[in-house]
Structure 1
Amino acid sequence: MQVSSQQSALAGIKVLDLTRVLAGPWCTQILADLGADVIKIDRPGGGDDPRAWGPPFLKDADGRDTDQATYFTTCNRNKRSVTIDMATLEGQALLRQMAAQSDILVENFKTGGLKQFGLDFDSLHAINPRLVYCSVTGFGHDGPHAMRAGYDLLIQASSGLMSITGQPDGVPGAGPLRVGVALTDLFTGVYASTAILAALEVRHRTGEGQHIDMALLDVGMAVLANQASAFLNTGVIPQRQGNGNPSLAPYQDFPTRDGAMILAIGNNGQFQRFCEAAGRPALASDACFATNTLRVEHREALLVEMHAVTRSRTTAEWIALLEHRAVPCGPVNDIAQAFDDPQVKARKLAVSLPRDAGDGIAAISGVASPLRLSATPPVLRYAPPALGQHTDEVLRELGMPASQIAELRSARVI
């Protein structure tokens, strides 16, 4: 990711961001990283809830905690913050004016929640037929659960994802677990940005925008991937297997002399090379282990053999032994170790952006966009904004005089 003013992939695209929490903001941050001008609408006085979801909190120049949570910075880089009270008629009119000049609107209110404000798709499509309007909800805009609020944890549970995550029954610590990050929120953001870019391409051909209905539940079911396919085609309900893979073996964590490592062996050739490097070539030709299907069938016996072998060396020794033999192997890092990895450093995945919002926070760090476009790479422009940091700037761009901005502020519309 470059700090640059060069022409970016979505230069000239304006996004009105009415999203909150994570799924919607993750989507709009992807668009912002690609160069779109994303205007984030915050509630006056409080803003997006994750601004206060701490600890941990951002620190000021003296190393003291502020009242701004690090959670918010996760998904609001490259955006400009404008505070508008959409419960007021003046605020609604202002948002409609902004929507009339936007290419994309993304919102994650409950089904029907924006209709009362005249900010639903039908109302805004009448004003701006070119508008691509993306709604993000927990359960979608139809069906018996359409009116339910949806949060990632609920979707991880209801989609079945938690039922296949964690240690198997009979093992200490057994039971369903959530994934360590809000996976369905994040995937929904990625899917939503993909759908928006597809809708923009359709607009190039037809001149018309459209409505996109993104649901966390739909995405949660989709990312079950091979586990869903296995159930739908066999009727067998997948079970928790810890770090094991239901279709591959050996493909999990293994104990080493000083900790643990990951082996991700995906074919018979890799297994054969592992066995040769480990000094156990006969394992690869054993009648129980000669093919992946046999290794999965005899998984427990294979693990007994593997554990005896992998404990003979340290993690670093195994990596040094296997990495030049094309056997996928690696450490089990904590997050600090991951950011210290030389490959992570080489890819410049930790980034920092200066912020001058008068609140004592000099810079905010985050993770670079993983999108690597050779001609139009993502660019760094703005740190995650302070609440209302760009209100006056954006309203001036709408052609609003300073006197009117002052009146709106006095009336607490902004």
Structure 2
Amino acid sequence: MEGVRVLEVAQFTFVPAAGAVLADWGAEVVKVEHAETGDAQRGIVKAFSHDVASEGTSFAPLMDGPNRGKRSLGLALDKPGARPVLEELVRRSDVFLTNFLPGARAKLGIDVEDIRAINPDIVYALGAGFGHTGPEADKGGYDATAFWARSGSADYVTPSDAATLTHQPAGAYGDSIGGLTIAGGIAAALFARSRTGHASVVDVSLLGVGAWAMQLSVNLALMAGAPLPKPDGGVRGASHNPLVATYRTRDERWLMLSMLQPGRYWPEFCQAIGRADLVADERFDTVEKLMANAEQAGDIIAEVVATRTKDEWVQALSDIEGQWSVVQNTWEVGHDASLTAIGQIAEVVDAEGSARKLVANPVQFDRTPPTLTRGPLFAEHTEDILHELGLSDEQILELKIEGAVT
């Protein structure tokens, strides 16, 4: 996307994550931040009870993750002096990206009609909580509410007898998925513009992303005419297939098996776990018998898996054809050999010159990992951007005195 210019008027993670992905893909992204406070996410100090920044450094994954590769402009959109700056940026941009609510967009003059009046060829992309129209178009939403709670995910993974609701497994969980979705929509819109000359409005809601993530279960519920029964928290896995299940190792780790063709994988799996005798066992010697006696087979597998550690099982099962995985923790994901091999755990240098690591987006072109640069400090590039727009030092000073820029 080299040569594509993106103007982002957004905050938190959902929509800024889309800007980060586009930056990963080579686009030039200018992030407009509130002239006094910046992106509201800069004020968050804890996420899931964890510090979001390292002490004594500007590096903060909460900001650098969804904002890497951008330039920051501190611009007070409510000040008259800021309007010419915004309009010139709009004229120069291919994409306008926002997650502001309808009232704020109207007040600041950044709704679709406002932006299109300045640049009719711009792709306008909006990330909303619950949709661009409908009864909740004016309602704000975060991924905890719109993506997780409303989509059916939270309900489905919370056991019926649970004392508390099961929460998202990570901060910005739905936001990050949604940001990648928006980036894909923008890419398609730019492709369409190059072929037809028509610049689309791209709309993505957190609720819509959550419903899409849950689409199989929602579709099954629609077909059944009722909510799907929740999975029994005490069940090991599929009732008819012992090779679609989780098993605990000797050192209290978990293996996840997902071998959907038990007849194909059963002989090799039995050999790998040191129980080749199970292949000829009259309870399991055909696919039909294995499925009928899946619980007994699962009990045997559980006993065997419990005799070795996670690392021992990784070695024992490394060459089998069937699909399985260790259940990794976050630290292990950050050092995952497959992710590291393709450059998706990418190095980035922070403002103090220290090497850090971030997860890159999962899309690669020509099998080349992106080169990441850190997220901008608040208003770090204001003067550079204004000079590029042709403003003199005197004009910039006047805007600063007015409070229109930072």
Aligned to 1:160: 152
Trace 1:316-331 onto structure 2 (pairs within 5 A).
316-331=311-326
Letter in 2 for 1:264: S
Residue 108 of structure 2 corresponds to residue 108 of structure 1: no
How far, CA to CA, are the matches of 1:232 and 1:106 in structure 2?
34
How far, CA to CA, are the matches of 1:206 and 1:246 in structure 2?
52
How far, CA to CA, are the matches of 1:290 and 1:223 in structure 2?
35
Gap change, CA 1:240 and 1:180, over 3 Å in 2: farther
Gap change, CA 1:305 and 1:214, over 3 Å in 2: same
Say which of 12, 15, 28 aligns to 2:6: 15
Aligned to 1:258: 251
Gap change, CA 1:284 and 1:165, over 3 Å in 2: farther
How far, CA to CA, are the matches of 1:235 and 1:246 in structure 2?
23
Letter in 2 for 1:262: M
Whether contact under 8 Å (2:30, 2:73) holds in the other structure is: yes
How far, CA to CA, are the matches of 1:234 and 1:249 in structure 2?
26
- 1:365-386, Cα deviation, whole Å (9 max, x unpaired): 3123322211775333x31110
Gap change, CA 1:246 and 1:399, over 3 Å in 2: farther
Say which of 181, 188, 194 aligns to 2:184: 194
Residue 336 of structure 2 corresponds to residue 346 of structure 1: no
Letter in 2 for 1:159: S
- Deviation of 1:184 after TM superposition, in Å, equals 2.2
How far, CA to CA, are the matches of 1:163 and 1:288 in structure 2?
36
Aligned to 1:6: none
Q: What RMSD in Å do the two structures reach over aligned CA positions? A: 2.8
Residue 58 of structure 2 corresponds to residue 70 of structure 1: no
Letter in 1 for 2:322: V
The SS at the match of 1:40 is: strand
- 1:1-33, Cα deviation, whole Å (9 max, x unpaired): xxxxxxxxx111100011111110111111011
The SS at the match of 2:365 is: coil
- Deviation of 1:264 after TM superposition, in Å, equals 2.3
Residue 170 of structure 2 corresponds to residue 180 of structure 1: yes
Gap change, CA 1:33 and 1:162, over 3 Å in 2: same
Gap change, CA 1:271 and 1:95, over 3 Å in 2: farther
How many residue pairs get aligned? The number is 394
Letter in 1 for 2:332: Q
- Deviation of 1:112 after TM superposition, in Å, equals 4.3
Residue 75 of structure 2 corresponds to residue 81 of structure 1: no
Trace 1:224-239 onto structure 2 (pairs within 5 A).
224-238=214-228, 239=230
Letter in 1 for 2:338: Q
How far, CA to CA, are the matches of 1:293 and 1:139 in structure 2?
48
- 1:266-318, Cα deviation, whole Å (9 max, x unpaired): 222123321233315536876689559974x8765554333222212222222
Whether contact under 8 Å (1:34, 1:377) holds in the other structure is: no
The SS at the match of 1:370 is: coil
How far, CA to CA, are the matches of 2:227 and 2:287 in structure 1?
24
Trace 1:197-216 onto structure 2 (pairs within 5 A).
197-216=187-206
Whether contact under 8 Å (1:40, 1:81) holds in the other structure is: yes
How far, CA to CA, are the matches of 2:288 and 2:175 in structure 1?
34
The SS at the match of 2:104 is: coil
Trace 1:347-386 onto structure 2 (pairs within 5 A).
347-356=342-351, 360=352, 362-374=354-366, 378-380=370-372, 382-386=373-377
Gap change, CA 1:144 and 1:284, over 3 Å in 2: farther
How far, CA to CA, are the matches of 2:21 and 2:289 in structure 1?
40
How far, CA to CA, are the matches of 2:140 and 2:306 in structure 1?
48
The SS at the match of 1:82 is: strand
Gap change, CA 1:276 and 1:355, over 3 Å in 2: closer
Residue 39 of structure 2 corresponds to residue 45 of structure 1: no
Aligned to 2:133: 142
Whether contact under 8 Å (1:165, 1:179) holds in the other structure is: no
Say which of 313, 318, 324 aligns to 2:308: 313
Gap change, CA 1:290 and 1:413, over 3 Å in 2: farther
Whether contact under 8 Å (1:92, 1:117) holds in the other structure is: no
Percent of aligned positions that are identical: 27
How far, CA to CA, are the matches of 1:378 and 1:401 in structure 2?
35
Whether contact under 8 Å (1:51, 1:68) holds in the other structure is: no
Letter in 2 for 1:334: N
How far, CA to CA, are the matches of 1:113 and 1:201 in structure 2?
30
How far, CA to CA, are the matches of 2:277 and 2:206 in structure 1?
47
The SS at the match of 1:133 is: strand
How far, CA to CA, are the matches of 2:196 and 2:350 in structure 1?
40
- Deviation of 1:146 after TM superposition, in Å, equals 1.6
How far, CA to CA, are the matches of 2:285 and 2:165 in structure 1?
30
- 1:249-271, Cα deviation, whole Å (9 max, x unpaired): 53343111222222222222123
- 1:52-72, Cα deviation, whole Å (9 max, x unpaired): 22242534xxxx435774311
- 363-372 vs 79-88, which moves further: 363-372
Please, which runs of 5 or more residues in structure 2 have no aligned partner? Answer: none
- 174-183 vs 11-20, which moves further: 174-183
How far, CA to CA, are the matches of 2:347 and 2:369 in structure 1?
17
Whether contact under 8 Å (1:11, 1:37) holds in the other structure is: yes
- 1:139-172, Cα deviation, whole Å (9 max, x unpaired): 1121112211111111211111101224x345x7
How far, CA to CA, are the matches of 1:114 and 1:205 in structure 2?
30
How far, CA to CA, are the matches of 1:108 and 1:293 in structure 2?
55
